[in-house]
Structures are given as C-alpha cells and as structure tokens.
Amino acid sequence: MNKVLIVDHPIILDKISRLRDRRTPVKEFRNLAGEISMLMVYEALKDVKLKNTSVNTPLARAKGKMVAQNIVFVTILRAGLGMLDGALMIYPDAQISHIGIYRNEETLSPVRYYFKMPRGSKNSLVVLLDPMLATGGSAVEAVNMLKSKGARNIVFLCLISAKAGLDYFLSKHPDVKVITAAVDSKLNNRGYIVPGLGDAGDRMFGT
Ligand code: PRP
Ligand code: URA
C-alpha cells in the first residue's frame, strides 16, 4: 500500500511559496529548491535500516547506531538535478543515478533517453528526485525503469504534485512511498500544474 506524506513543516511551506513566485530569480530558485530538497530528503531517510555500533569518546565507550543500508539518489533529468546537492548535504555517501526522461510536448507522454543505475540496488533505499509530478507519466516510467533493474525499496520525492498525476502514480506503483510538499488541484491543457510554479527545468537553469 502507498503511503503519501504531504510535508507541512512551516519552513518548507514558506520556501515553497517563494519557489512558486514568478518574481523569484534563477539563483534564488536554485537555492530554494536545494534547501527544500534537503529538508524533504531528511524525511525520506527516516526509515533507513540501522545497525548497532559503539565508539570511543574521549571519556568512555558510547553505544550508537549507523546507517546499514545502501542509499541511492536518482535524479530525473533535467529538473531533478536541482535537488541533488540538497540531498547530498543530508547523506553524502549515497550512490547517484540519473534517468533521462522528457515529455513529448504534443502527447505529454514520457520519452526515455538515458539511464545509469549502480549494480546491486535490490536492497538499497532508492530515493527518486523530481520537483514536479504533473500527469505522472514521467514518474511512473522512471519507477518502471528502476524496478526493471531490481530496485524494490523506492521513495519518490517531488516538490509539487497535481492531484490527478498523484492518483495515477499511486494506481501504478502502490508499493512506492510518495513525499510531496504540495498537492495542486489542476493541470492546464498543456499539462502544466496550476498554480504550480511553471516549467521547473527552465526556472532552475534559466532557459
Ligand atoms: C518535467 C518535470 C517532470 C515532468 C513531469 O520535466 O521535471 O520530469 O515534467 O511531468 P509529467 O508528470 O506530466 O510527466 P520535463 O519533461 O519538462 O523535462 P526537463 O526537466 O528536461 O525540462
Ligand atoms: N513540468 C514542469 O516543469 N512543470 C509543470 O507544471 C508540469 C510539468
């Protein structure tokens, strides 16, 4: 069963409003996307497997915990790249994978053009990063690709989602947890989320 987590931390909500604002310049947009991603990845890694450890402090032996699971951050190009630095600030030891998908502007169907995944990700915690879930086609296709390489433990993290796309994604991948900071009500006739934030890739990279 899917779990959808809509994060409602006040600082994330504040930053999402700034990210949506059409007056926000490219540099600030990138910074905000990175900061929000960092905070959301912190939440996404809440269920990572741990093992017991102990270390010597300057005074005594201290029992503790360490991450015991491989973590892979997967970006959906292009706009997912803007979430990677924030993710790595939370867990710099993660492996990184890239999936190239763009939407055909006429049909809105996802078109694959690149996929590189580390071997042996079956037991890894795979965190898929894309700021936008609109029709849901790109995210569904990306998870199909990850599963085809054996990934089983996948969390999808997006900044803004559309209700219809979220429902579509949940119907196709009921085993994948979704973490999002906003669920918007509509898509326009070009498949853009309304109110959304516009074209995430263009705003991130100034194109
Ligand atoms: C955007 C976004 C998602 C996709 C979401 O990418 O980053 O990958 O659209 O739309 P969907 O849910 O309807 O599939 P885009 O296709 O614009 O590619 P780009 O990041 O390379 O510009
Ligand atoms: N891709 C975007 O970047 N923005 C949208 O609103 C929809 C898809």
Instruction: Assign residue 168 the CATH number of its domain.
Output: 3.40.50.2020
Residue 65 Cα to ligand 1 midpoint, Å, equals 38
Does residue 148 fall inside a structural domain? yes
The pTM (predicted TM-score) of the whole model is: 0.96
CA of 79, closest atom in ligand 2: 3
Does the beta carbon of 78 sit less than 6 angstroms from any atom of ligand 1? Answer: yes
Question: Which residues are CB-contacts of 34 (< 8 A; sequence separation ≥ 6)?
Answer: 82, 83, 85, 86, 89
Asked whether residue 174 is domain-assigned, the answer is yes
**Within a domain: 56:** no
pLDDT at 108 over 80: yes
The residue among 124, 110, 133 whose CA lies nearest residue 179 is 133
Pairing of strands 125-129, 71-77: parallel
Higher pLDDT, 200 or 3: 200
DSSP β-bridge partners for residue 6: 180
Q: Exactly one of 18, 85, 103, 112 is catalytic; name it.
A: 103
Domains held by the chain: number: 1
Mutation choice for ligand 1 from 84, 102, 144, CB with most ligand atoms inside 8 A: 102
Other C-beta atoms closer than 10 Å to the C-beta of 179 total: 21
Confidence grade of residue 144 (pLDDT, cut at 50, 70, 90)? very high
What residues are paired with 178 via a beta bridge?
Answer: 4, 156
Average pLDDT over residues 15-37: 98
Residue 33, domain member (yes or no): yes
Q: How many CB atoms lie within 10 A of CB 203?
A: 22
Dist. CA 165–CA 96, nearest whole Å: 26
Domain-located, residue 143: yes
Question: Counting beta carbons within 10 angstroms of the beta carbon of residue 147, is it exposed (0 to 12), middle (13 to 18) or buried (19 or more)?
Answer: middle
pLDDT digits (tens, 9 = 90+) for 67-86: 999 999 999 999 999 999 99
| Residue 22 in domain | yes
Upstream peptide bond of 195 is cis (omega within 30 degrees of 0): yes
DSSP calls for 162-179: EHHHHHHHHHH-TTSEEE
**β 95-103/110-116 pair status:** antiparallel
**For the segment 151-160, what is each residue's pLDDT rounded down to a tens digit?**
999 999 999 9
Q: Is the peptide bond before 78 cis (omega within 30 degrees of 0)?
A: yes
Q: What pLDDT is stored for residue 187 in this prediction?
A: 97
Query: What is the span of the domain harbouring residue 34?
Result: 4-49+66-205
Above 80 in pLDDT, residue 2? no
Within-domain flag for 58: no
Catalytic residue among 21, 53, 107, 167: 107
Q: In this structure, is residue 193 part of a structural domain? A: yes
**136 CB within 6 A, ligand 1:** yes
